């Protein structure tokens, strides 16, 4: 087995020398691996370990999203929903640990402990968050006996602006600031970490059309409009629907409140704490909570930019059933 890891790391080193490169939003470069743009030092390594060494369990659930589409929020909602009988809302782990500590971010966690993290010892059923595209998962995970995915997507105008803010916060000071104009052009070309955005959404969407019991698709704007309705959908999808008694006791409302933007943002851990994703990426928790609104992209983009981005989205999603 040790030899297998060596082979993967050898392949990884070879790939670093040969894969096409483009400008990165956080680090200097992203590399193109199987039509996806990935950070060469982090996500690419994670993707190779996932494909070659991940041992799935049928009870695994992956919370997947393109960056800045609502991972932090959905993490909290998913964790609070599936663990609702374990924790009291007044002393809930989310109040003290922050959403990113309640279950691992697969993409970096998988290689955090060389050569691979011990994922078998995680409590079962395992929850993982990920930004990997659906097609980067091995067949053993994607297949019909495999795991569940909860996917959240969001208006790309808001994703672009949210990501632009976030990545500039993380960008090392020695690199020049990424301008919105540059970020926009790169985004339209599909070039940003885990991009292209549209392929990411379509990959999960198409897979969910084939196996709706395995992949639940949520949309940020809709969850925002009716959070309770979507928490109920989430519970049903996870096989733990709310009972009548819970309905009367207002449990759904408690989960929605606990995970709301204002509640989470104002917790001490999210005002002053940090989340470490590996040696390279350390994020101030407060950077996961910016505005939490629908439509903020329009406050930054010109009419022309909005038209161009909407046109690309309409064209890419046309005929798929995805409502934009």
Contact positions toward ligand A3P, by CB under 6 A?
Answer: 65, 67-73, 158, 162, 165, 259-261, 264, 288-292, 296
Closer by beta carbon to ligand A3P, 23 or else 290:
290
Minimum Å gap between C-beta 74 and ligand A3P is 8
Taking residue 275's Cβ as centre, other Cβ atoms within 10 Å add up to 20
CB contact at 8 A, 290 and 162: yes
Closer by beta carbon to ligand A3P, 29 or else 291:
291
- 105 burial (CB, 10 Å; 0-12 / 13-18 / 19+) is buried
Closer by beta carbon to ligand A3P, 116 or else 259:
259
Backbone phi and psi for residue 148, each to the nearest 5 degrees, phi listed first: -100, 150
Minimum Å gap between C-beta 231 and ligand A3P is 12
Instruction: Name 323's Cβ contacts closer than 8 Å, sequence gap at least 6.
Output: none
Show the tokens assigned to 14: 């070879």
Q: Of residues 36, 92, 100, 131, which has the active-site annotation?
A: 131
Task: Give kind and range of the element (H or E) at residue 277.
Answer: none
Minimum Å gap between C-beta 67 and ligand A3P is 6
Look up 131 and say whether it is catalytic: yes
Closer by beta carbon to ligand A3P, 8 or else 71:
71
Closer by beta carbon to ligand A3P, 71 or else 313:
71
Minimum Å gap between C-beta 131 and ligand A3P is 8
Instruction: Name 206's Cβ contacts closer than 8 Å, sequence gap at least 6.
Output: 320
Minimum Å gap between C-beta 189 and ligand A3P is 21
Q: Where are the alpha helices (DSSP H) in the chain?
A: 2-18, 43-53, 71-82, 93-97, 106-112, 139-142, 156-170, 180-188, 197-210, 220-225, 227-237, 244-249, 251-258, 261-265, 268-272, 303-317
SS3 215: strand
Active site residues: 131
């Amino acid at each position: 087995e040790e030899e297998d890891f060596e082979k993967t790391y050898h392949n990884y080193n070879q790939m670093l020398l040969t894969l096409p490169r483009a400008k990165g939003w956080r680090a200097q470069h992203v590399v193109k691996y199987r039509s996806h743009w990935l950070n060469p030092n982090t996500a690419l390594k994670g993707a190779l370990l996932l494909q070659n060494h991940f041992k799935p369990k049928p009870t695994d659930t992956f919370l997947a999203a393109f960056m800045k589409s609502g991972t932090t929020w959905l993490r909290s909602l998913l964790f609070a929903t599936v663990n609702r009988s374990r924790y009291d809302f007044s002393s809930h782990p989310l109040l003290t640990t922050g959403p990113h500590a309640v279950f691992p971010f697969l993409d970096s966690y998988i290689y955090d402990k060389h050569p691979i993290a011990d994922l078998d010892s995680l409590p079962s059923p395992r929850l993982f968050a990920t930004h990997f595209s659906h097609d980067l998962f091995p067949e053993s995970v994607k297949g019909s006996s495999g795991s569940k995915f909860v996917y959240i997507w969001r208006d790309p105008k808001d994703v672009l602006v949210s990501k632009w803010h976030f990545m500039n916060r993380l960008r090392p000071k020695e690199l020049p600031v990424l301008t919105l104009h540059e970020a926009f052009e790169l985004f339209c070309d599909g070039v940003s970490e885990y991009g292209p955005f549209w392929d990411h959404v379509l990959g999960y969407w198409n897979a969910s059309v084939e196996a709706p019991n395995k992949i639940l698709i949520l949309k940020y704007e809709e969850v925002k409009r009716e959070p309770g309705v979507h928490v109920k959908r989430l519970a049903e999808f996870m096989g733990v629907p709310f009972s009548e008694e819970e309905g009367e006791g207002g449990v759904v409302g408690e989960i929605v409140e606990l995970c709301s933007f204002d509640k989470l943002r104002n917790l001490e851990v999210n005002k002053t704490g940090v989340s470490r994703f590996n040696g390279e990426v350390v994020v101030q928790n407060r950077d996961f909570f910016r505005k939490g609104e629908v439509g903020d992209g329009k406050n930054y983009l010109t009419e022309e930019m909005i038209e161009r981005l909407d046109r690309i989205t309409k064209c890419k999603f046309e005929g798929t059933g995805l409502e934009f």
